[in-house]
Each structure stands twice: as structure tokens, then as C-alpha cells.
Amino acid sequence: MSTIRTLITIAVNRNWETIQLDASNAFLHGDISEDLYMRQPQGFIDINNPKLLCKLNKSLYGLKQAPRNWFEKFTGFLQKYGFRSSHSNSSLFLYNYNNIQIFLLLYVDDILMTGNNPAAIRTLISAMHSQFALKNLGPTSLFLGIQVIRQSTGLFLTQQHYAEKLLKDSGLLDSKPTYTPTAPKSKVQTMQTQPFDDPPLYRRLAGSLQYLSITRPDIAFAINQVCQHMHQPTIQDFQSLKRLLRYIKGTVTFNIPITKGPMILRTYTDADWASDASDRKSISGFCTLGPNLISWSVKKQVTVAKSSTEADYRSLSAATSDVI
């Protein structure tokens, strides 16, 4: 997701159009290098030879190697065309020849493309059409469930539809909104250790919230807290989850703006030393900005830090790795 936000930021700053493509039946395009056989499918069984097997010449959905075969087939085509794979992200492909720059990002069967030469992009799309069954969806408007709204100042990335669906599924669409994602902690807390009676519901909602954090950095810390109790949630944990959903109810229109600005990376890091009373582990947090917010993280550190300085260094190390 950081790559997507970075790619869109570059396109906005350079006034490039972003184009979205979709590969139809992507896994069927893959080539298989080994001998694979399958039983005759129901409705197509040879009456004279019902026990014979079918030898596969092409990849099929359901094969464990189908995603890899599709990726290798598409990658091989791009490399022959002159693209190279990015060292930071193997799904990002770069083309730079005769002052023509094209960036292509592949996520399973969804393709995001931008560049400085529309004619070269059209030629590339025609070449891809000759090899694969592709749908040209035009300028990017919905990519991986993220809505891209165009305005005069730039773009907005939002998941409002996804948030509203999540509220509807949880039964909190008409709930009273709160103004903070988590309740303020008091020194004296009454811990309700009674287990929640529907753990699958808790896990489903918490997992859905993780995907919502793609465009909502303001709930990253709260989601981190909620997801630490997936195994055995209590009634109090579910109350915290409901409070977070009620906060989303009041901020359902929040989004990430993508605007023009200085293309300089800046990163801010922090650590909350030994903040978890149960295991004394610290929490690392960082965010990276160009002209827009590109990357952020809130995670509990793996081991116990013996000092606040050690916790800060670990947070700084994680942020540095992300920037590189």
C-alpha cells in the first residue's frame, strides 16, 4: 500500500494520468513446467474411458502454483518489453528508455500504470492486449477497494463505502458517534475478564478494521490494541471494539489527500516505553511523508526494552528500514 500511495503521489506531482487495467481470468494465462493430471470433470466424462486422466497444458484456478505461474508469465512479458523489477517491491516494474518513463504496479490481476508518455502507454497496452485478456478501466477510480476521488487540488483516497458496509454488518450504522477511537486510560480500571460470547464476530470485525487502516492512519493505534485480543476476547475488549466503530461512524468521510508539494522524504518516529502493563513491551510508531502521508506503522516491539533510549532506537531502526 505504501508503494501505491507513492506511485500516485509521483503521478500527481508530475501531472501524469494513472490508468487501471484488469486481467480477466489471470491464472489461466500461466504456463506450467511440470506434468500435471486431473480427473475428468463432472459433465465431461468420457463414457468409453471414464478412468482416464486429463493432462494439463495450461494453468488452472485451484493449483497451488497458479499465482506464481501467472506472475512469471506477466513478468517475462514486461522484461522482454524493457521493464525492470524494482528492488524495493517485486510487483513494481519500471521502464526508462529514450526519456520515456512508465511505472507499472501489479497486484494479482489488478494493474496500475502511469508515465510521462501517453502514446507509449497506449502502445504498451496494445502489446499486452495481444498477449493477455485485459480490460482497460480508464483513469483510476477504484483500486483494491480504495476510491480515488479527483479534485482541482489533487486526489483523495477514501474507503467510505467500505466503512459504511462495516458499520452496517456490525449493526452500528445508526449508533451514536464518539470523538476519540479509544477511551482515556485511568489509573484505576475495572477489568472485565468475562469472555465475550461470540469470538468469531470479534475476529471478523477486527480483521476488517485492519483493511480500513489503509486510508485511516488515525485508527492505526486503536486497531493495534484491538487485534492483541483476537484469541480470547473479553466483554471489555468488545466494548473497546464498539467504541472504535462508533468513532468511525463519526469520521466516515475522513480520507487521505494526495496533493502537490516538495518531493522530499521526512520521517518521524516515537516509542512508548514499557506501556503494556501485561508484558512490559514498548510500542513503536513512525510515519513517513513526502508532500503527502505515504507510510505509517504502530506495532508492539518483539522484545522487552530495558530503557526508553533502547525503545526509541528500535523504533528508529524500523522506520529507517521502511524508508530504505
Provide the pLDDT for residue 17.
92
Q: What is the DSSP string of 42-108?
A: TT---SS-TT--EEPSS--TT-TTHHHHHHHHHHHHHHHHT-EE-SS-TTEEEEEETTEEEEEEEET
Provide the pLDDT for residue 151.
85
Provide the pLDDT for residue 12.
92
Where are the domains positioned within the chain?
2-144, 160-250, 261-323
Provide the pLDDT for residue 163.
92
Provide the pLDDT for residue 104.
95
Provide the pLDDT for residue 284.
92
Please list the ranges in the chain whose pLDDT falls under 50: 186-188
Closest C-alpha to 163, from 219, 209, 204 = 209
